[in-house]
């Protein structure tokens, strides 16, 4: 039951953030918005850890792996995915990010010695086909060009980096580093990295003093970062990175359901079929899953 809650929570929250993030688009450069979000989340979590008297003392080696997790999940992954959307539609980017399922399978096998499971592979194939169905309109207008190829490379690179971050989190948990503390420090490290990238790119820090921007930032900080990432990365430690990545397949369904009520999105037979394939793929891959202990690759 706990694993189900850990799976459903990031699906619902990240599905809603597709809409909430639209309130972040405007005067503030995306890199600064990301850095604000994770800096606030990191500091807030460190305060919570202090109040709860959780251990915040880690060795240099442990901090190095927490830093790696932060740079991969809360830093360069977001940077490349945001950059890719300058050249690609959100549908194409969403489809590419769904490949996280397979990147996690491969990287789990390489770094964590986790064996491949046929049902997980089959479920992943169904899920990605379903995602393609959902975004078929975006895909039908896709044409190759230098800028599109650049966008594809950025999106693929961002997804691979996210996968490495997932594996790093699994490794950290197996090494005894708690999710709450690793996320607290990791988010802060990622925020600092993105802020520096923005500064060295010649961008000027700004903040949009509007209710929409501020409230959306608070939502993304508390729900989209602290709660969702806490649930998702804990899920990785419990069922493995390969199965946890199925969250990325469910998110578009939640996002489009919300869009139906708030933005007038219209479902078609093809998009309904895509959603059905994603759900079937999840049931096949995750049904009767047993808790698999992740071993640290030496």
pLDDT tens by residue, 68-114 = 999 999 999 988 988 888 888 878 888 899 899 999 999 999 999 99
The answer to whether 133 and 63 are in contact (CB under 8 A) is: no
pLDDT band at 296 (very low <50, low <70, confident <90, very high): very low
Q: pTM for the whole thing?
A: 0.90
pLDDT of residue 239: 94
Residue 143 pLDDT > 70, yes or no?
yes
Higher pLDDT pick, 285 / 171: 171
pLDDT band at 148 (very low <50, low <70, confident <90, very high): confident
Phi-psi region of 150 (alpha: psi -120 to 50; beta: other; left: phi over 0): alpha
Residue 137 pLDDT > 50, yes or no?
yes
Higher pLDDT pick, 87 / 172: 172
Beta-carbon count within 10 A of 146 CB: 8
pLDDT band at 285 (very low <50, low <70, confident <90, very high): confident
The answer to whether 199 and 29 are in contact (CB under 8 A) is: no
Helix (H, G, I), strand (E, B) or coil at 157: helix
Let me know if 248 is exposed, middle or buried by CB neighbors in 10 A (0-12, 13-18, 19+): buried
The mean pLDDT of 244-254, rounded to a whole number, is 93
pLDDT of residue 288: 46
The mean pLDDT of 213-237, rounded to a whole number, is 97
Residue 212 pLDDT > 90, yes or no?
yes
The rounded distance, in Å, linking the Cα atoms of 196 and 47 is: 24
The rounded distance, in Å, linking the Cα atoms of 229 and 250 is: 15
The rounded distance, in Å, linking the Cα atoms of 231 and 134 is: 26
pLDDT band at 189 (very low <50, low <70, confident <90, very high): very high
Percent of residues, the chain, with pLDDT higher than 90: 74
pLDDT of residue 108: 96
The answer to whether 176 and 58 are in contact (CB under 8 A) is: no
The mean pLDDT of 201-218, rounded to a whole number, is 96
The rounded distance, in Å, linking the Cα atoms of 81 and 243 is: 22
Mean pLDDT of the chain: 91
- In eight-state DSSP terms, residue 224 is I
């Amino acid at each position: 039951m706990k694993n189900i809650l850990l799976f459903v929570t990031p699906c619902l929250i990240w599905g809603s953030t597709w809409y909430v993030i639209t309130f972040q688009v405007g005067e503030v450069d995306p890199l600064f918005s990301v850095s604000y979000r994770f800096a606030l989340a990191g500091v807030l979590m460190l305060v919570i850890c202090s109040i709860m008297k959780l251990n915040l003392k880690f060795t240099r080696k442990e901090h190095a792996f927490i830093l790696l997790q932060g740079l991969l999940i809360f830093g360069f992954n977001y940077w490349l995915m945001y950059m890719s959307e300058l050249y690609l539609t959100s549908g194409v980017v969403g489809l590419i990010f769904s490949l996280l399922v397979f990147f996690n399978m491969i990287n789990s096998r390489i770094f964590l010695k986790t064996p491949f499971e046929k049902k997980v592979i089959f479920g992943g194939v169904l899920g990605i086909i379903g995602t393609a169905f959902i975004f078929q309109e975006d895909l039908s207008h896709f044409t190759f060009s230098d800028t599109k190829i650049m966008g594809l490379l950025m999106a693929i690179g961002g997804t691979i980096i996210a996968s490495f971050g997932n594996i790093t989190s699994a490794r950290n948990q197996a090494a005894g580093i708690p999710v709450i503390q690793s996320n607290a420090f990791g988010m802060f490290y990622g925020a600092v990295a993105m802020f520096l990238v923005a500064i060295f790119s010649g961008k000027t820090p700004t903040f949009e003093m509007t209710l929409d921007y501020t409230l959306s930032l608070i939502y993304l900080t508390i729900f989209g970062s602290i709660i969702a990432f806490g649930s998702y990365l804990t899920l990785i430690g419990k069922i493995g990175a390969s199965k946890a990545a199925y969250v990325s397949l469910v998110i578009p369904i939640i996002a489009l359901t919300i869009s139906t009520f708030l933005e007038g999105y219209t479902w078609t037979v093809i998009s309904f079929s895509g959603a059905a394939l994603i759900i079937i793929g999840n049931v096949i891959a995750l049904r009767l899953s047993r808790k698999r202990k992740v071993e640290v690759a030496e």
